[in-house]
Every structure is written in structure tokens, then in C-alpha cells.
Structure 1
Amino acid sequence: MPLWCMSSLRSTTMTMPSHLRFGTRGSKLALRQTALATEAFRAAHPSISVEIVRIKTQGDTRQNRPLSEVGGSGFFTKELEQALLSNTIDVAVHSLKDLPAQLARGLCLSAVLKRENPLDVLVSEKKTRLLDLPAGAKIGTSSLRRTALLHIVRPDIIVVPVRGNIETRIRTMRTQGIDALILAYAGLARLGIDHLIAEIIPPHLMLPAPGQGAIALEARATDTTTLSWLKKINHARTFSEISAERAFLESLDAGCQVPLGCLAQRQGDKLFVPGCIATPDGSRICTATVSGMAYNAALLGSELAARLRTQGGAEILAAWRGKTGR
């Protein structure tokens, strides 16, 4: 299934609906992201009414184990996709980094909003920077990627698994003696609590997850009317960048159980795409960068994946598949 559903945008004689149902998770951040999506939609289509439908996912109910143990594909998105396929909703709003590279059959990524800063940040009560934290400091994260890269940058750091929504993680940090958290800038900014950020971690230290910072709108591939409406709020530059990142993710077929990062950046007509893949303990990391014309975004993402495979990434993936039986 292609990322963009242009082939579905054919003329149709069906009756034009005047109401659109947006499905979302129920967390404060998810609802804020859905508000941003519906605000953009209303601005483009003021005559069409909008309804917000809250849907609970596995990721909302199973928070007592690390993501690397229970994540799998679609941990935060499966129920939203099921609602699309059952016609309970018309649009699913996702944090793009949660959306599997392979979407459910019959669905497509129809639009993305303008991306927020995609980088990771350090949240610390004392506003201490990552490299300035004392030896043996405790940092909270449930991300395998962040954990692996932390082990590389600060091998003395103690990583503490912390899950839950942003507010829960911050409360856990404050009450359980954790020195800092690693979170995404975008979530803090959208909740209006970016004043808690001690440092925006530069990408040479910590490449973000593919799609991080982007809000994705998913729809049925046959719903030509909805697709044409959503096309009007699609942010072209962001879509170009995330197309490379998602092609990279799909080519590696690694899911969320392998630490990998990728950040495509468009400059004029060109796209620059660095990426990395690491062992969970950070004992080995492979890095590479590709560049080319932005209209070849997906090809660039696939090329990046191929380069990393030849530089040791294949062995890292083979070791992971040997453990998981994939």
C-alpha cells in the first residue's frame, strides 16, 4: 500500500457527506493533536462538521511492562485502524512514530500536518544537560532506541524503565528519585509544558525515531471524498521527509524491538537522510547518511537501509530475529 493514496482520488458519484468522524486515543496529548488536526480541517472545510471519537488502545491499558516486551506492531494504533475498517470513524489521528510501516490492508496515510521539532529532549528538575549529569545518574525512558543511544553517549548512566503518558512520567521522575527523563520535544510543546526542557538533545547524539514530531491522518483507501478533503491540509515538506523515514523503517522491517533512528531534512529540492541502527545494549552502532532529490524520498529511505545493512546492520537484525524467531 503506497503512503499517499493518489490512485484513489478518482471522480465519484457518491453523495458528498457533510460530517467527518475523527478517531483518537484519549490521552491529553492525543486529544491535543486531534484538536490541531480538526482545527486545520475546519479552516480548509468550514462547511463540514467534525466529530471526535475516543478509542482506547492496547497501549493505553497495558502500561505495566516495557514497550520492548509488549509493543509489537500497532500497539497504539490497531484499535483505531479497526474502527476505520468497521466504518466507526472516517479518519484516525496518530503520532506518526507509532504507526507501523505496513498499514492494515485497505487503509492509507492520507495526510500529515506540519511537523513539530522532531528531536528528543532531556527533562530535569535541575535543568542539567545530558553530558553534565553526574556519574551514575538515573534517566527514565521506555524506548529501546533512547536506551541504546544513552548507553553509547553516557555508558555510566542508569536507565530506569518509565511508561505512561507525559504527565505520569514526570510525576514518576519527581517521586521516585529519577534525575531526568528523555521525551520528545513535540509532546511537551503541544501540551504547553516545554518550559520543563533542560536540553534539546542534538541529533548527532540521539537521532529521533522515524516520524517523530509528525501528526498522521489515516483513512480508508476507497474513501475518495475524505481523501480529497485531507489532501488539502497535507504539509508537503513534512510528507516528503517522513516518506523517506518510513521507507527506511519498512525496508529494515525491524518494528520497535530494534533501536534505530532516522531524521530526513529537506533543504530546497534536496533531502538529507541520516540514520542509525544499534544493539539494545549500545555495544554496537551503525550509522550512514544518504542525500538526493526530494521527489525520490522513498528511494532514499530504502537506500539508507541498504547501506546500514552492509555496514553491520544486517548482523544486528539477524541477532534480533534469532531471539524473536522472526
Structure 2
Amino acid sequence: MNKKITIGSRGSKLALIYAQKAKDKIIQNTNIKDEDIIIKEITTKGDQVQDMRLSEVGGKGLFSTNIEKELQDKKIDIAVHALKDMPAIETVGLRTNTFLKRNDPREILIAQSGKKLNELKINSIIGTSSYRREFQIKKIRSDINCKLIRGNVDTRIKKLNDGLYDAIILSYAGIKSLEIEDKITEIFSIEEIIPSAGQGIIALQCRNNDIEIISVLDEINDKETSSMAHAERNVLKVLEGDCETAIGTHAIIEEDKIILQAELFSLDGKQRFFEKKSSKINDARELGKELGEILKTKSNNSYKR
């Protein structure tokens, strides 16, 4: 490749760590040199609007739309995203089919008091911006009050330390990448809290007609993670899931099998619909669609407005 490659990323500390991981992977697996890859910071609307739920100001696309626009306008060649922040439906003309090896997908609690969820005082306030996390927490402890929290990891921890919340819930992958595991007071198992589709996965996106970049990205795609990503995302696609959809879905691979589980909550969080199925790895995408259809039928669309 005889031109420089520009990687577009959000400007948060965590997003730039993810962009650097992508850059390092390309350097390790191709003959492209460090100086030929540039990381460009892009501000997204999700970074600018910090006091409302995403669903109230445009949904998950808030974190990806500006970056995708730069990709469409050929101002960048590769976009780096946390897969869980991407809308379920692909943007026309763009390709998201490259995934780095999955980081830990579990959820964690950081509490002011250093206590675990079951040790928090009655009616404690937990910060989250996710309906899924809110309903999952209340399934474990119905007295807990969930209060909206937005901002990057550092901002959320500061708000916790300022006494605005008793605890906050975050993804383990982000905390690991920022190397602040010492702040964790509890790690939830997948059985306790099923994570968001694609949690812990870095996704790389390019234009679907950019043959040169596609050939570079194919060199760094993690096959197992790719199967998990497509299975989990297809559950969302069938449900037409958005920011208001309280859905957790998680896949694991055992030998030649992929095992997928998902839980979906009604809009008010009072009903929970669960399903678990497995298939051959090659049928991962179909498995995701099948699970989505089952949940759609079981829930009778009670998860939608």
C-alpha cells in the first residue's frame, strides 16, 4: 500500500486506546509501517450531549454517525468503534466485518463504600444510562434506585466520588483497557448480568468498495470473535433493537459449536424473556436470527413502544 492510512476514532482516552490497538494489529500483521498510519480524533454528538439518555437524543448512532460520515467523505480510511455502541443496522456503503479478539465482556460494579451489590444499603443509588443494566440490577435487588449517568469512564468515576451515586456499573473491558481494575468492587458473572451485544469487542469499519483497506483488515480479523459478534448482532437486527431495547445477548464458542443466550425485558422491565440455543460455528449468523425471532414471539412485542 503506497498511501498513508487514516484511522478515525472518538477522542476519549478509552477510544484512543482502542484505535492504538487497531493500529498495532495492522503493523504486526502486515508490512505497513508505524509512520504510515495516522489516528484522527473525531468528536461525536454522543460526546457533546452528556445529560440525557441516548434514546432521547438520537440513539446509539450518536457515537458513530460523525465518524461514519468522515469515512463516507473519504477523510478517513478505517473507523474504530466499540461494537456495543454501534446501531444494529449497517450504514449503506460501509462494511463492519473486522473484529479484534474479544476483551472480557462482563459487567463490573464500582461502589463508593467498596461494597458488593448485595451489601449496599437499602435504596442505594446506582448510576447507569442503560435500561438493560437497570432492569438486570433490579432483578437481583428490587430496592435499588437507578439514576441516569453519562460521560466517559473518568467522568463517571468522578461523579461517584463526588457522592452523586452510591455505585456505578461499567463494562469490564473498558476498565481493563484503562488499567484501573483496582477500583472494581464486584465483577458480575455472565449468568448474573448478560452483557450488551458485542460488549468487549472492538469493531473496524471501512467503505465496502475499498478493496485495499479490506485486504488489510482481513489480515487482523479474529475469526472466533467475528462469529460471536455476528450472532449477537443478528439478535438485535431481528428485534430492531435500539437504545430503549433492554436486551442482553452473549455468545461463547466451545470446540466447533457456538452457544448463544439472550434476555429481553418488556418496556417497563417487569417481564423477562430468556432463550439459549447452540449451533455449528458456521451457522452463527442464522443462530442469532433464530434466537431473535424466538424472543420476538415470546415477548409479543412488549419491548417496543
- TM-score by length of structure 1 reads 0.90
Q: Contact conserved, 2:97 with 2:226, CA < 8 A, in 1?
A: no
Residues 135-167 of structure 1: per-residue CA shift (max 9 Å, x gap): 111111111110121222211001111110000
Partner of 2:291: 304
Q: Which runs of 4+ in 1 moved over 2 A?
A: 45-48, 279-282
For 2:140 and 2:52, locate their aligned partners in 1 and report how far apart those are by CA, in whole Å: 25
Contact preservation (8 Å) 1:151, 1:281: no
- Bigger Cα displacement from structure 2, 134-143 vs 78-87: 134-143
Greater shift in the superposed pair: 83-92 or 144-153: 144-153
Give the match's secondary structure for 2:95.
Answer: strand
Q: How far does residue 231 in structure 1 lie from its aligned partner after superposition?
A: 0.7
CA RMSD of aligned residues (A): 1.3
Distance 2:215 2:126 in 1: 44
Instruction: Name 1:191's counterpart in structure 2.
Output: 178
Q: Paired residue for 1:34?
A: 19
Work out whether 1:47 is the aligned partner of 2:32. Answer: yes
Which residue identity does 1:230 align to in structure 2?
L
Amino acid at match of 1:316: S
Is the contact between residue 210 and residue 245 of structure 1 (CA under 8 Å) also seen in structure 2? yes
Return the offset for 1:18.
Answer: 3.4
Question: Are the aligned partners of 1:262 and 1:273 in contact in 2 as well (CA < 8 Å)?
Answer: yes
- Unaligned runs of 5+ residues in structure 1 are 1-15, 322-326
Q: What is aligned with 2:276? A: 289
Cα contact 1:120–1:206 (8 A) shared by 2? yes
Q: Secondary structure at the match of 1:74?
A: helix
Find the residue that maps to 2:37 and give its secondary structure.
Answer: strand
Q: In structure 1, what is the Cα distance between the partners aligned to 2:52 and 2:10?
A: 19
| Pick aligned residue for 1:165 from 146, 149, 152 | 152
Which whole-Å deviations, capped at 9, do the CAs of 1:270-304 have from their partners, x for residues lacking one? 01100011024421110010111011001000111
Matched, 1:276 2:263: yes
- Matched pairs, number: 303
The answer on whether the counterparts of 2:88 and 2:237 sit within 8 Å (CA) in structure 1 is yes
- Contact 2:8 / 2:76 at 8 angstroms: preserved in 1? yes
Q: 2:10 aligned to 25, 29, 32, which one?
A: 25
3-state SS of the aligned residue for 2:71? helix
Aligned equivalent of 2:302: 316
Per-residue deviation, 1:133 = 1.8
Q: Give the TM-score, by structure 2 length.
A: 0.96
Q: Please give the alpha-carbon distance, in whole angstroms, between the structure 2 residues aligned to 1:135 and 1:82.
A: 46
CA contact (8 A) 1:57 1:79 kept: yes
Partner of 2:161: 174
Compare 142-151 and 236-245 and name the one that shifted more: 142-151
Distance 1:188 1:56 in 2: 22
Match of 1:106 among 93, 97, 100: 93
Aligned to 1:263, the other structure's residue is in SS state strand
Q: Within 2, Cα distance between the matches of 1:73 and 1:195?
A: 29
Q: Which residue of 2 aligns with 1:62?
A: 49
- For residues 245 and 64 of structure 2, the distance between their equivalents in structure 1, rounded to whole angstroms, comes to 19
Task: Give structure 2 stretches of 5+ with no counterpart.
Answer: none
**Matching residue's letter, 1:213:** G
Amino acid at match of 1:285: R
- Report the residue type matching 1:18 in the other structure: K
Q: Which residue of 1 aligns with 2:122?
A: 135
What residue identity is the alignment partner of 1:258? T
Identity fraction in percent: 36
Does structure 1 residue 243 correspond to structure 2 residue 230?
A: yes
Distance 2:60 2:54 in 1: 11
CA contact (8 A) 2:238 2:289 kept: yes
Does the Cα contact within 8 Å between 2:267 and 2:302 map onto a contact in 1? no
**Which range moved further: 92-101 or 38-47?**
38-47
